[in-house]
Amino acid sequence: MGRMRMVFTCWAWPTHLHAMVPLAWAARAAGHEVAVAVPPALRGLAAASGLPYAVVGRDVDAVAAFREIVSAPGGGGGGPRVLKLIGALTEAMAEDLADLVGGWRADLVVHDPTAFAGPIAAAAAGVPAVRHLYGTDLLGAPAARNFLPAVLEPVADRLGLGAVDPFGVASVDPCPGSLQLPTASRRLPMRYVPSSPHGRSVAPLPPRGSRRRVAVTWGTTLDRLDPSLHLAGEVARAIAGPETSVVLAVTAEQASRLSELPPWTQVVSDGALHQVLPGCDAVVAHGGAASILTAVAAGVPQLLLPRLPDHVRHSARLAEVGAGLVVPAVEAQGQPELVRERLAALLDEPGYAARARELGAESRLQPSPAEVVTELELLVTTETAADRPVGLKPGSAPR
């Protein structure tokens, strides 16, 4: 396959871009031209990735939407609010992205599974679209397949398109197969590679002696919504003790807000989570897809305290396959005894650790990003129509 042009795109949520960076770099290393297309709010992160990038569309206040969701009574704020947000994100990016894809004469669009401007822009240019999953395929469920085409229809109509398939011709999947739900398009398994341009190297942790070692991390999403939802310090105080040491993996900003911690606690600020996990007996976290997959790749069992709807569903799937336990965050907050009890159950039952090790081995056996690039080359060869349109008006060249 000769040189291709690939556009990788996501809306302005950092972890969605992090998930695609290893594959984008693998494509570039294979000699293909790559452009990362993001809204203005992600300009700095795109630049930090080291990849050529272009800014498209306008920003949407997704944080406000998620605040509404998390504050809804009983946590049932998903549904209509999520649909409204998806529609707004698609509307904000689709036209500019279509200009870029067509004007640059791209051969392929790779998009995060919630960035539906991607398949619309690919359809406008007559090129294949491939989803890049960052966790379990929550939108591949039959219910989602029913409502998503209607969300895309207004934007597709404005660009003179017919029905657009929101799931593309394939789905790059970093989840081990036994953890994944049925995908909505052909599955291209890929080994999970943790990625964050801001994660610095971490010095080896000191010997733990006879104590169990537990990592605690709470990501960045909940912090953006409301710092009071960041429970890492509370969890550390609940579980650290003479028999259990805790490694808190947090950002420097989060570390500055931690109140007094027990003496058996070590804080790692702005460190790469995957470097903290070796030697840990368990992870306690919020249920974000990136932290779940990082722990899965490390073969470590997890106690998850989810709050947002997608965190709840990702966490439930990990529990279903036997590699962790779940306690809703609304039940765990302010209940240190409950957190200690569930962590003890996770650590004392060897089946959880055994299943986590199996998932880790399965994750490591999946094809590398470089091998997936070869699959994308074959896909473009077989899927692209010979008479595809040149595109719309010329777009901005990637930086």
Same fold, 5-191+366-383 and 212-363: yes
Q: How would you class 34 by CB atoms within 10 Å of its CB: exposed for 0-12, middle for 13-18, buried for 19 or more?
A: buried
The answer to whether residues 116 and 89 touch, using CB atoms and an 8 Å cutoff, is yes
pTM for this entry? 0.92
pLDDT at 392: 34
CA-based angle 284:197:108, to the nearest 5?
105
Assess whether pLDDT exceeds 80 at residue 395.
no
Q: CA-to-CA distance for 21 and 42, rounded, in angstroms?
A: 13
* pLDDT band, residue 271 (cuts 50/70/90): confident
Token representation of residue 399: 């930086």
CATH number of 5-191+366-383: 3.40.50.2000
pLDDT at position 391, please? Answer: 36
Residue 149 predicted with pLDDT over 50 = yes
The CATH classification number of 212-363 equals 3.40.50.2000
pLDDT(389) > 90: no
Beta strands in 122-256 (DSSP E): 129-132, 170-173, 186-189, 212-217, 244-250
Q: How much is the mean pLDDT over the chain? A: 90
Q: Over the stretch 48-106, which tens digit does the pLDDT of each residue have?
A: 999 999 999 999 999 988 888 777 655 445 677 788 889 999 999 999 999 999 999 99
Q: Where are the domains of the chain?
A: 5-191+366-383, 212-363
pLDDT band at 174 (very low <50, low <70, confident <90, very high): very high
